[in-house]
Structure 1
Amino acid sequence: MMQSELLDLLTVLATLFNLAGSAVQDALFPDKRSEAQFQLDVRGALRRSPSIGIELDEHANAGGGITDLSFRGIPIELKVESLTLFALADGRRFASQAASYAVARGKKTAVLCVLDCSPKNGPPRDPSQLVGLETLENGVQVCVLVIQGNLQKPSALSRGPVRQ
């Protein structure tokens, strides 16, 4: 991977990691969202970053498909899970799509960002367990990041089951 691509990837990830932290700290995604709504949220966060700004592309063509977002050719694929808790390993099923876009753009890296707004009955998960790197057989590395949404308020967690 070229140094410039690595720097571009880190630029994107810094903003997305900030969004993931804010999602837990500030309950940015208090309930279920559509993929289109999530894309607007991510696009807004990335555009507000001075190091990204207008260089963020939306719906660029790549490999016969259309990327959600991209920065200097690095595809940023967005997904939303609203039914079951999304584990980091679940990102494998979407990694090939992101990797295909990367190859079509001449890149060795891609980002897969998943908003998990499934029902939750416990506290937020440790963010360090929600980021990983998938290396595909074509050599593309896909950074998978899970953002937590639809979280319980801390005070709701201290309430036991309702008594009759």
Structure 2
Amino acid sequence: MLDLVLHGPSGSQPVGRPAPVRAEIRNTGERDLWIAGVLDGSENGLRYPHYLPAITRTDDGRVVARPAPAEDPLVGPLRANDLLRLAPGDSFDPVTGPGCLPLMTFAHFAPDRPGRYVYTLTLSTESTAPEQWLGGFALPVGADREQLLALVARVPRTTVTAAPVEVEFL
């Protein structure tokens, strides 16, 4: 079983600066779990795993931040050390963990007016083919490719959404 949790800051945040919102993946199951953090192309939905963030204003329900469309469909290759094994009870931050990238939607959002904003994050590993994890260039071949595809096959296919986190900016 896989849980995705968002952690927001305590107290209000200053307008014009990003809030320190972080993510955590927990293995709440009884067996080891394989997973990858945010990789090149994950936030834009170009490759799996998909990490799909959004930020919404509470006063009008308008989405004020989401991933920008990809400028280039080429993403870096998957490496064996991008996939982590979590023992039951273990957790890791998919943004700051080894080989992981920041969620640019959260890292760059700095509202220009006070208000309450809701941060959401959905993780999907439900690819239709394991090759959707490999990337767009410098793809592995032969035994390296087979090793990566075997690791990807260990990742549970699921979609989970973290409970929303509300942040007040003053």
Which TM-score band (shorter chain)? Answer: under 0.3
TM-score (norm 2): 0.27
Structure of greater relative contact order (alpha carbons < 8 Å, 6+ residues apart): 2
Give 1 or 2: higher helix fraction: 1
Give 1 or 2: higher strand fraction: 2
TM-score (norm 1): 0.28
